[in-house]
Structure 1
Amino acid sequence: MFILFGTKGYLYQLAILTLVCGQCGNPAAHTLRKRVTKFTLFFVPLFPISTKYATQCTFCGAEHKVNAQDAEQLQAQAAAGASPGGQVHGQAPQQPHQH
């Protein structure tokens, strides 16, 4: 008797937000994604093993990990249609200083 088991990954796009990228510094659209890995038995997904969130810049392609709480906040802001103030991952937008 053989028992077939393994894992399968699922990728969900939760929202599209305009954020300042932490990599390239450009204000650009970012996709908020959720990656769920599920345990499978005989090719039937049974339960999630891990859930990870990330944003990806559409300008440079950089991907940044986000914790679940921040992902929920970003998703709520996208649903409300509000801009999160141009901040991503605790980084303030860079602006020139005037003296």
Structure 2
Amino acid sequence: MLVIFGLSRKEWPLGLVALACMVCGHPGPQSLVRRRTRFTLFFVPVLPLRNRFETRCPVCGTGRQVARDEARRLGAAA
């Protein structure tokens, strides 16, 4: 019997937020993204594993993970 399983990831853009990048110091807007990871069985998403929120710098591409409450606060301000 052959069992096919894996992980699927999907991202949703939530908007732009005004933050300074921690790496390059760019003070402009960064994109706020929600990333969901699910366990898949036979290419069907079965079990949600994690939700992450992160900001991404448009200059250097570095992502910084933010907490759910902070992501809600940043999303409401945008």
Question: TM-score over 0.5 for the alignment?
Answer: yes
Give the TM-score, by structure 1 length. 0.68
CA RMSD of aligned residues (A): 1.5
Which structure 2 residue ranges, 5 or more long, are not aligned? Answer: none
- Deviation of 1:8 after TM superposition, in Å, equals 0.8
Tell me the distance in 2 between the aligned counterparts of 1:22 and 1:33: 17
- In structure 2, the partner of 1:11 is 11
- Deviation of 1:2 after TM superposition, in Å, equals 2.0
Give the TM-score, by structure 2 length. 0.83
- Deviation of 1:26 after TM superposition, in Å, equals 2.9
Q: Is contact 1:28–1:59 with CA below 8 Å preserved after alignment?
A: no
Tell me the distance in 1 between the aligned counterparts of 2:2 and 2:11: 29
Say whether residues 1:41 and 2:33 are aligned partners.
no
Indicate the percent of aligned positions where both proteins have the same amino acid: 37
Q: SS where residue 74 of structure 1 aligns? A: helix
Normalized per residue, which structure has more strand? Answer: 2
